């Protein structure tokens, strides 16, 4: 994997960030630096704040307090960041039409869109399905199309929220291969998952969240082989963190 990727959007830095919504604190006192390199993976039980952290890093949610910067700037244009949600919504048009739309919103000229859409379909191994209504594709195909749509804006950072949730092993493997390929091309991948096996297979570094706080962060081997906290040890042992 290319660990030398450089981006104007990176590093993404959280300094004592709190995020409250509806009277609840979702993230508390998050201090974290996400820099170029192999994928950063957020893990943790349901409700631990993984999705909120991803959305905040994408710039979709503003912190209630604390400070966030992208490449050192508090206000950064998010045009070179992209996110794939856990349940991506397909527009009611063909797979090709979805890519055309994303390319158009990314400012790609009309004459270029055809070529780029074909390239993206090929990248996610959906050639031949371009004309099919996107909502009629299988779950795995829709997820790959969603990643292709995100890549339409040639992001420097790609956020993925549980990209293989509820997919079968074959579809999961296809998505993981795609993530490796995207990461190897120099795009910084930041993803959330509750699947420890997937985290181990894909991550460069791991952030364990619980109840909105960071329990531990570490390089993948160190995280799995010699966890620093008791909570991490219990989580890796399959115990329920309550």
Partner 1 sequence: MPDNTSAFHLLLTRDPALFSIVGLSLAVSLTATVLASFIGMPLGALVALTRFRGRVFVMVGMNALMGLPPVIVGLAVYLSFSRSGPLGSWGLLFTPSAMVIAQAILVTPIIAALTRQTIEDLWLEYRDEFSAMHIGAFKRISTLLWDGRFSLVTALLAGFGRAAAEVGSIIIVGGNIEGFTRTMTTAIALETSKGNLSLAVGLGVILMGIVVLVSALAWGLRRAGERFAG
What is the nearest approach in angstroms of partner 1 to the Cβ of residue 74? 18
In whole angstroms, the minimum distance from the beta carbon of 130 to partner 1 comes to 13
Q: Which parts of this chain interact with partner 1 (CB under 8 A)?
A: 58, 60, 78-79, 82-83, 85, 88-94, 101-102, 105-106, 132-136, 150, 153
Choice between 132 and 194, CB closer to partner 1: 132
Question: Is the CB of 160 or the CB of 220 nearer to partner 1?
Answer: 160
In whole angstroms, the minimum distance from the beta carbon of 106 to partner 1 comes to 8
Judged by beta carbon, residue 83 or residue 189, the one nearer partner 1 is 83
CA 161 vs CA 34, 187, 203: distances in Å: 16, 16, 14
Residue 139, classed as helix, strand or coil, is helix
Nearer to partner 1, 37 or 78 (CB): 78
Residues 211 and 22: their CA atoms lie apart, in Å, by 16
- Residues in a beta bridge with 67: 15
- For helices 139-151 and 169-184, angle between their N-to-C axes, nearest 10 degrees: 10
CB of 35 to partner 1, least distance (A): 22
To partner 1, the closest distance from the beta carbon of 229 in angstroms equals: 33
What six digits make up the tokens of 84? 């794939």
> Closest distance between partner 1 and the C-beta of residue 85, in Å?
6
Burial of residue 230, with CB atoms counted within 10 A of its CB: 0-12 exposed, 13-18 middle, 19 or more buried: exposed
Q: Which is nearer to partner 1, 136 or 233 (CB)?
A: 136
A 10 A CB-CB count for 209 gives: 25
- Nearest to residue 196, comparing CAs of 239, 236, 140, 240? 236
Of 15, 10, 18, which is closest to residue 72 (Cα–Cα)? 10
Q: Which is nearer to partner 1, 152 or 215 (CB)?
A: 152
The β-bridge relationship of strands 12-21 and 24-34 is antiparallel
């Amino acid at each position: 994997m290319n660990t030398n990727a450089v981006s104007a959007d990176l590093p993404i830095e959280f300094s004592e960030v709190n995020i409250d919504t509806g009277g609840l604190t979702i993230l508390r006192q998050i201090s974290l630096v996400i820099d170029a390199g192999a994928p950063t993976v957020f893990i943790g039980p349901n409700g631990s704040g993984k999705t909120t952290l991803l959305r905040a890093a994408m710039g979709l949610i503003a912190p209630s307090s604390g400070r966030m910067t992208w490449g050192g700037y508090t206000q950064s244009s998010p045009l070179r960041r992209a996110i794939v949600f856990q349940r991506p919504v397909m527009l009611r048009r063909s797979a090709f039409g979805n890519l055309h739309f994303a390319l158009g919103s990314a400012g790609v000229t009309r004459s270029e869109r055809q070529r780029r859409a074909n390239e993206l379909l090929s990248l996610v191994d959906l050639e031949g399905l371009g004309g099919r209504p996107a909502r009629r594709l299988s779950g795995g195909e829709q997820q790959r199309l969603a990643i292709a749509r995100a890549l339409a804006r040639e992001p420097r950072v790609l956020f993925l929220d549980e990209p293989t949730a509820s997919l079968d092993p074959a579809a999961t493997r296809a998505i993981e291969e795609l993530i490796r390929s995207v990461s190897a091309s120099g795009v910084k991948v930041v993803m959330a998952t509750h699947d420890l096996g997937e985290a181990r297979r894909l991550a460069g570094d791991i952030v364990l969240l619980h109840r909105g706080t960071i329990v531990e962060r570490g390089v993948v081997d160190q995280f799995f082989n010699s966890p620093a906290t008791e909570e991490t040890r219990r989580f890796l042992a399959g115990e329920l963190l309550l």
